[in-house]
Amino acid sequence: MAGYSFRDIATQTLISDDNLRRIIKRCLVVAPDRRIFGFRALHPGLHVVAYTRTKPVVSNFVLGTSCSSGFAGALGQLFLRFPWLRKRVEKQFLGQNDDGEYVEARKSIANIHRELLEELKGKLKTGEWPLNTENRGYSALQKHLHALLKTNPTAYIRERSGEEAAWHLRIGKGHPRLIQAWMPFSILELDYVRQDAPGYIEFEDRYGHLHKLLVARWYVGLLADECSGGISGYHVAYEAEPSSDTALQTVLSSLMPAAQDDDAPLMRDVVPEQASLLPNLIPLYARQGCCLLKVDNGWANVANDFVNNVIDVLGCAVEFGVPRAWWLRPFIERLNGKLAERGLHRLRCTYGSGPDDPRRREPEKEAARYTLRDRDLTAILDAVIAEHNTVFTPEKLFRSTIRDTLEDYAIRPELDWVPQPLPNASEPELRLLMHKVVASVRGSVKKGVRPYVQFDRCRYTNERLSSDFTLIGQKVELQVQRMDIRKAWAVVLSTGRDLGQLNPDARWADWKYSILARRVMNREALASPADRDPQSVHETLKARRQALIDQKPKKRSKREALEIAKLQRQIAYDPTEKPTTSSAEHRSRDLRGVFAAFRNTRRDDDV
């Protein structure tokens, strides 16, 4: 139409000048979506401008009674006369009190209508609308307020249906995902799920008697591939709440090869290969990096050690989800529910999906009746994961198993899968579980105290550090292994000089424990300053465990039993292994994300 006159357009289209100008004006009207209507205005029967009544409202009587016919647009005409009345009615209905006026919670339309009539007293004549109708404009007011659902749905649903319903409006907006996983191991999702069945942990006292203690429900970390739906890593954490250790151990379980367990697994028939995770089933997928790791904004995921170590080792970006926005990671959230339904929810001692679940019938008594131990729950979870990766045929993969699909990607070049293996010399088990802290070099020339670095009441030094007194007072970056605190390295921040691996002092050299476990031991040592030796602290923890065993079942703390179970895993008296040992045996890892050396020393552990 640009450059043509109205006469030429009328000649070619047989549309008159007046009609053409009317059509152009309709197309230029701004629509509710803040764009011009454009060609949408040409749709038959479409109103580009809301109807506004101009004719005065006159009483309509049929057979001597008042009726509501012929009053179209009367409410809008009333609001044009009293614009403040329209704002007040809508704010009361939507629960908005911007001007500080008290607003009744979820105020009914009947009360709003009654107050509307009270406001109009003295302002309208007897024959004017709505005083001249049978229902006094109630139907018109009801339709107007219900129409707010289209113009302001969030405020409408929040006030009339509640905050939970308004929160659900974030789901299903129809926006396409900006980043999609087209290849295996391109996007991984990490989440934690609380085990849904009670378990007992067994202790043997000094007389050889076996005792069972009910422990609090612990968490399981899951790492899954968004493209294939397979589970590449998981870790059982004896913790009431997930920590950064749980997160790092879960990620590490997808990088390290599985170590054979000393004892036969509970469900050998279901897991014949003693392997359930994808890196263990398909060797080519071991030690694979990723492009993006999706996590929620829990404390375990926002910790500096987790974010920095994951980005450093995997070379990926980390995406934090919005609080309570499970739909941003729908796969891992749905996977948690599926694993529970296939596994622990099938037990008679299950907690179910909630307190009102009919399957929940005194779960703790049922667990005691069937002697369900914590390692039994772990074996069931291991079997469910193996079944998920090797048996089930999801519709997404055209009824092929996850294992078969990933093997096709590995052996068929036409599928264009690009592996992202980590370097063999990267030692992810060391770098991923590394805790970094800035410390000062201590020492004294006057007193003849050689330079050292102190962390958690333990002194670290080596020949290179102890012989250089010029380092006293300088800042170093101390890197400590989270699961074996005897392994530490240091770098001078000012010069970048590598001081190498440091050794702890002699009293700590024979103890293998995590950072959290040693902090527990330090807390016990500070409570009794006379006994700060690790052996004394070890005896204190053992006495506490024995006191817990001797208590009556009703007085036993499940959280305390869970803490002792965690310490039993992380503390071990191991004088044979030196701090500088770095053989392949100590880099091996079992299916649950626990170092094999930790598991082997657990038999001789007294905690």
Long-range contacts of 337-343 (CB under 8 A, 24+ apart): 338/388, 339/193, 339/222, 339/381, 339/384, 339/385, 339/388, 340/193, 340/196, 342/384, 342/387, 342/388, 343/380, 343/381, 343/383, 343/384
**Measuring CA to CA, how many Å separate 428 from each of 187, 196, 315, 586?**
19, 32, 12, 13
Instruction: Please write the tens of the pLDDT for every residue from 498-552.
Output: 999 999 988 778 777 778 777 766 765 555 544 455 556 666 666 666 666 566 5
Domains of the chain, residue spans: 6-42, 61-170, 187-423, 434-506, 512-604
Query: For residue 512, what are the β-bridge partners?
Result: 572
What is the largest distance, in Å, between two alpha-carbon atoms of the chain? 116
Inter-axis angle of helices 83-94 and 74-81, to 10 degrees? 110
Helix (H/G/I), strand (E/B), else coil: 225 = strand
63 vs 275, residue with greater confidence: 275
Tokens of 375: 């390692």
Please report which confidence band the pLDDT of residue 476 belongs to, taking 50, 70 and 90 as the band edges. very high
Three-state secondary structure call for residue 564: helix
Q: Which two tokens stand for residue 124?
A: 């309208």
The position carrying tokens 């009914």 is 108
Q: What local confidence, expressed as pLDDT, does residue 178 receive? A: 82
Amino acid at 55: K
266-280 burial: b if 16+ Cβ within 10 Å, else e:
beeebbeebbbbbbb
User: What's 36's DSSP letter?
Assistant: B
pLDDT digits (tens, 9 = 90+) for 137-182: 899 899 999 999 988 999 999 999 999 899 888 888 888 888 888 8
- Convert the pLDDT of each residue in 79-118 to its tens digit: 888 888 988 899 989 988 767 777 888 899 999 999 989 9
Compute, in degrees rounded to 10, the torsion defined by CA atoms 118, 121, 123, 124.
110
Q: Return mean pLDDT, the chain.
A: 79
Return the CATH fold of 187-423.
Nucleotidyltransferase; domain 5 (3.30.420)
Which residue has better confidence, 243 or 452?
Answer: 452
Residue 171 sits at φ, ψ, to 5 deg, of -90, 140
Q: Please tell me whether the peptide bond between 130 and the residue prior to it is cis, using omega within 30 degrees of 0.
A: yes
Q: What's the pLDDT band for 60 if we cut at 50, 70, 90? A: low
221-268 pLDDT, tens digit each:
999 999 999 999 998 887 778 888 889 989 998 887 554 444 444 555
Most confidently modeled of 29-38, 66-75, 90-99, 242-251? 242-251
The fold for domain 434-506 equals OB fold (Dihydrolipoamide Acetyltransferase, E2P) (2.40.50)
pLDDT surpassing 60 at residue 571? no
pLDDT value for 510: 78
